[in-house]
Structure 1
Amino acid sequence: MTAESRINSLETSYGRLAWRADGPEGGAPLVLFQRFRGTMDDWDPTFIHALSAKHRVIRFDSAGIGRSEGTVPDSVGGIAAVAAEVVQKLGFNQVDILGWSLGGIIGQQFALDFPNLVRCLIVAGSSPGPIADGPQQDPRVLQVMTKATDNDERDFLFLFYPETETAVAEGRASLKRIESQPNKGPGVSAAGFMGQIKAISTWQGVLGRAKELKLPILVANGAHDVMLPAYRSYVLSQQAPNAKLVLYPDAGHAFLFQVIDDFVAEIDRFLA
């Protein structure tokens, strides 16, 4: 199926949650964990199409997000628990996970809390937690990403792409593809936004337990990420015992929508 796959509903203890499936059945499915203030409709459809050529791809709106009922848990562990119930209710014994940004944080916590449910983990544009040394987040990021109103194109280009002609052009093309999808669902509500903020702000990170993350991990980022600097991806790759690090030049936080062919090929090799 394509990125215009049917919207399904799943009854859970958190309420009825919305989910979609793309790609061929068989093997461990690849479950996507979305970014802060993102829904399952905020994945670039070209990325979904490429990813689902070889993999069964599952994306969903967590509790209190987008089309789903319920309330956003106020901890990263709570959000990971929602994802675990989704995996189990869908009948999967084991899955691969691709988490982007906040989704990468949730993916790391998921792997610690539910190790029997995850085979391989992909951490994209994310962080293992607070890191005092090395490059820090651009000071403008917090103000832009927490605006009370929805972010506009200018905000997304600043947050997600380097200020080069090529990167900006690719960023605009990706944003256009996302916004032009038919039947796009609602965005993250004010209550959902606040729940995610609380979860992020209270998360202690995984560095103290990173040695426990013995599963295969692919850590990837754009070399010029202003939100979660690539140095944090490097730190995670050094602490987790079976991690591979890939950085993309002239790319930022949304590198996965900028270098789609290269990153999907990397994912294919990793999961094979």
Structure 2
Amino acid sequence: MWTETFLTTCVDPQVSLFVAQTAGGADNAVLVIHGGPDWDHSYLREPLGELAGRHCLILPDLRGCGRSTCGLAADQYTPDAAINDLIALLDTLGVARADVLGFSYGGLLAQRLALTAPHRVRRLIIASSSVLPLPENAFQDWAERDRRRAAEMAFWSENTLSGPELTRQAAIAAAPANVWQESALPDYLARLRRVRFSAEWMRPWQTGSLPSARCDNAASRLAASGIPILLLHGRQDMTFPVALVEQTTTLIPAAHAVILDGAGHMAHIDQPARWITAVAEFLDN
């Protein structure tokens, strides 16, 4: 079902993105932007693969991630560089306009893509992410979140790892907070074992030189763009609070929100059937 290839998106420096793609024409393309950012796209292949045959799915690894070009200078890992890669990727594939789904950090990049090149984005899905910035007290008095994040917090205070193994073990430690359904945890951990983690973006992040992926005045600018928007979120998301989704719909009246009960940050793993149904209905509308 998936074809895999490397496509050049930048010549100075030389950057090639690893891209997984399903069959289909350029007129029904769906560009999927993974999160992390030091992950790859593989944890999103399912249930998105269910859309194959109806949509041409395009799942790249961002620069510095997965099997895409790594080893660049730290200042080459920026949100704008990632957006330029994605626009170049669409050009190479002959895709004039795409539906865009951004997950978590990828949701921030998807917003940036829509605001940088609105003529390239047909519809926008912001999944497990946020248009609005997080307030400092976003998760105040949520004891269950504190309990689930205990292992992750202990990891960061005690770890001596570096490089991709640091990213991998951090993801494993955070798993109980990212997946709400205990029954879904084994599947999630199995996906993490298949992810090709990197630590390229962590380098500028650790030195404080990584620019924010969040766009200024994103809500008002997205509202003015007229791009149809789906906000797809788990009610028990412990990374981006669901309250921000509800606030966003008041600022972008045309945005449609689907909030899945019994789902955490990895809502597509907690509630795969309901998640992919929401995506499909929005894309087919």
Partner of 1:176: 190
What secondary structure sits across from 2:66 in the alignment?
A: coil
Partner of 2:61: 61
Superposition deviation, residue 168 in structure 1: 1.5
Letter paired with 2:183: A
* 1:229 maps onto 2:247 in alignment: no
Letter paired with 1:161: V
CA separation of 1:54 and 1:68: change in aligned 2, threshold 3 A = same
CA distance in 2 between partners of 1:245 and 1:79 (Å): 26
Residue segments in structure 1 that go unaligned for 5+ positions in a row: none
Residue segments in structure 2 that go unaligned for 5+ positions in a row: none
Question: What are the within-5 Å matches in structure 2 for residues 1-272 of structure 1?
Answer: 1=1, 5-13=2-10, 14-25=14-25, 27-36=27-36, 37-43=38-44, 45-69=45-69, 71=72, 73-132=76-135, 135-136=138-139, 140=149, 143=153, 148=162, 149=166, 150-151=168-169, 154-162=172-180, 167-177=181-191, 179=193, 186-189=196-199, 191-195=200-204, 198-199=209-210, 201=212, 203-205=214-216, 206-207=218-219, 209-272=221-284
- Between Structure 1 and Structure 2, the one with more helix by share is 2
Superposition deviation, residue 88 in structure 1: 1.3
Letter paired with 2:203: M
TM-score by length of 1: 0.82
Instruction: Encode CA deviations 1:180-233: one digit per residue, 9 max, x unaligned.
Output: x6xx6x3223x3323467546464542453433421000011001111111122
CA separation of 1:11 and 1:153: change in aligned 2, threshold 3 A = closer
What secondary structure sits across from 1:252 in the alignment?
A: coil
What secondary structure sits across from 1:77 in the alignment?
A: helix
TM-score by length of 2: 0.79
Superposition deviation, residue 271 in structure 1: 1.1
CA distance in 2 between partners of 1:38 and 1:202 (Å): 16
CA distance in 2 between partners of 1:125 and 1:66 (Å): 21
What's the % identity of the aligned pairs?
20
Letter paired with 2:20: R
Superposition deviation, residue 23 in structure 1: 4.4
Aligned-residue CA RMSD in angstroms?
Answer: 2.9
CA distance in 1 between partners of 2:205 and 2:52 (Å): 28
Report which of the two structures shows the higher radius of gyration computed on alpha carbons: 2
Superposition deviation, residue 157 in structure 1: 2.3
Superposition deviation, residue 127 in structure 1: 1.1
**Is the CA contact (8 Å cut-off) linking 2:108 and 2:213 kept in structure 1?**
no
What secondary structure sits across from 1:247 in the alignment?
A: strand
Superposition deviation, residue 158 in structure 1: 2.4
Bigger mean CA deviation after superposition, 28-37 or 118-127: 28-37
CA separation of 1:222 and 1:68: change in aligned 2, threshold 3 A = same
Instruction: Encode CA deviations 1:71-120: one digit per residue, 9 max, x unaligned.
Output: 47443233222211111121100000110000000001110001010100
Give every structure 1 segment of 4 or more consecutive aligned residues whose post-TM-superposition deviation is greater than 6 Å. 144-147
Superposition deviation, residue 33 in structure 1: 0.3
CA separation of 1:145 and 1:209: change in aligned 2, threshold 3 A = farther
